[in-house]
């Protein structure tokens, strides 16, 4: 696992200490991290606007832009980095909940830092196996192994899972790219199928375990058979 971690605190002495300590803990847990440290929320936002972070450790009481103001702007960044408030102002813990932080750390109690790092690692290990999308104002996340297939309909994609069906605006080609490495087969221009839900291939068709039959286009026949055989070999190892 590789994570980008950003630290922001106007106390530069503490900033260096905390950055080094946190980096060391991640490395001890065999997580490869790249780090950047800033003493200003404004400068940090400018820097990571097009190069977003996975995690931001953020002080609250800063002169130019408070940690709360900075956290609001972070919510609009691609990737929605996880925010952990780090402050010596204990009374702000309840106010911080309005900004949906991943965690709240007191500078007077950094003994819990290892616990927080473990929670972050667990979160990202779990998150990488989830598929995220938005539809009807809802943010949906589905375990990837529960997705049976995607179907392209006009400008939308229909997500068929083991127990539900969702539709949202997206190109099926983009989903195919995002799910590289997850054993999905683009057997047809309009279908992207999860190999783990395929029962067999017969007469130009994918027969799924739920009895659904998905067509295989002629131009994709050989590639579909090849990918499915590779999947079958991998699960037998």
Q: What CATH number does residue 48 fall under? A: 3.40.50.2300
Question: Does the pLDDT of residue 140 top 70, yes or no?
Answer: yes
**Confidence tier at 39 by pLDDT (50, 70, 90):** very high
**Confidence tier at 235 by pLDDT (50, 70, 90):** low
In terms of domains, do 181 and 212 share one? Answer: yes
Question: Does the pLDDT of residue 79 top 70, yes or no?
Answer: no
The Cα–Cα gap between 18 and 23 comes to 8
Phi-psi region of 4 (alpha: psi -120 to 50; beta: other; left: phi over 0): beta
Residue 118 phi, psi dihedral angles, 5° rounding: -60, -40
Counting beta carbons within 10 angstroms of the beta carbon of residue 186, is it exposed (0 to 12), middle (13 to 18) or buried (19 or more)? buried
Q: Which of 97, 127, 157 is the last residue of a domain?
A: 127
Q: What is the pLDDT of residue 108?
A: 86
Counting beta carbons within 10 angstroms of the beta carbon of residue 174, is it exposed (0 to 12), middle (13 to 18) or buried (19 or more)? exposed
In terms of domains, do 123 and 213 share one? Answer: no
In terms of domains, do 194 and 227 share one? Answer: yes
In terms of domains, do 91 and 198 share one? Answer: no
Q: What CATH number does residue 213 fall under? A: 2.40.50.1020
**Confidence tier at 186 by pLDDT (50, 70, 90):** very high
Rounded to whole angstroms, what are the CA distances from 190 to 36, 157, 176, 211, 214? 42, 9, 11, 19, 10
Q: Could you tell me the residue range of the domain that residue 175 belongs to? A: 130-236
Tell me what the mean pLDDT of segment 114-136 comes to.
87
**Confidence tier at 237 by pLDDT (50, 70, 90):** very low
Q: Which of 91, 109, 127 is the last residue of a domain?
A: 127
Residue whose entry in the numeric block shows the structure tokens 């297939």: 149
Rounded to whole angstroms, what are the CA distances from 237 to 178, 209, 230, 231? 26, 21, 11, 10
Lowest average pLDDT, out of 113-127, 203-217, 218-232, goes to 113-127
In terms of domains, do 139 and 46 share one? Answer: no
How many separate domains does the chain show? Answer: 2
In terms of domains, do 184 and 141 share one? Answer: yes
pLDDT higher for 196 or 159? 159
Lowest average pLDDT, out of 44-53, 107-116, 146-155, 216-225, goes to 44-53
In terms of domains, do 73 and 111 share one? Answer: yes
């Amino acid at each position: 696992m590789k994570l980008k971690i950003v630290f922001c605190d106007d106390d530069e002495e503490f900033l260096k200490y905390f950055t080094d300590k946190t980096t060391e803990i991640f490395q001890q847990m065999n997580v490869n991290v790249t780090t950047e440290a800033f003493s200003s929320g404004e400068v940090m936002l400018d820097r990571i606007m097009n190069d977003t972070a996975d995690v931001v450790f953020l002080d609250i009481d800063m002169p130019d832009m408070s940690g709360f103001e900075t956290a609001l702007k972070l919510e609009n960044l691609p990737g929605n980095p996880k925010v952990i408030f780090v402050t010596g102002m204990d009374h702000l813990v309840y106010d911080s909940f309005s900004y949906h932080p991943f965690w709240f750390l007191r500078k007077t109690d950094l003994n819990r830092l290892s616990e927080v790092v473990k929670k972050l690692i667990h979160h990202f290990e779990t998150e990488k196996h989830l598929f995220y999308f938005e539809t009807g104002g809802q943010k949906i996340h589905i375990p990837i192994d529960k997705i049976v297939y995607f179907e392209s309909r006009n400008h939308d994609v229909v997500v068929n899972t083991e127990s539900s069906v969702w539709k949202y605006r997206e190109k099926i080609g983009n989903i195919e790219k995002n799910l590289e490495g997850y054993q999905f087969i683009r057997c047809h221009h309009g279908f992207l199928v999860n190999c783990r839900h395929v029962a067999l291939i017969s007469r130009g068709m994918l027969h799924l375990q739920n009895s659904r039959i998905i067509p295989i286009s002629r131009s994709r026949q050989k590639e579909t058979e090849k990918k499915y055989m590779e999947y079958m070999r991998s699960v037998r190892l």
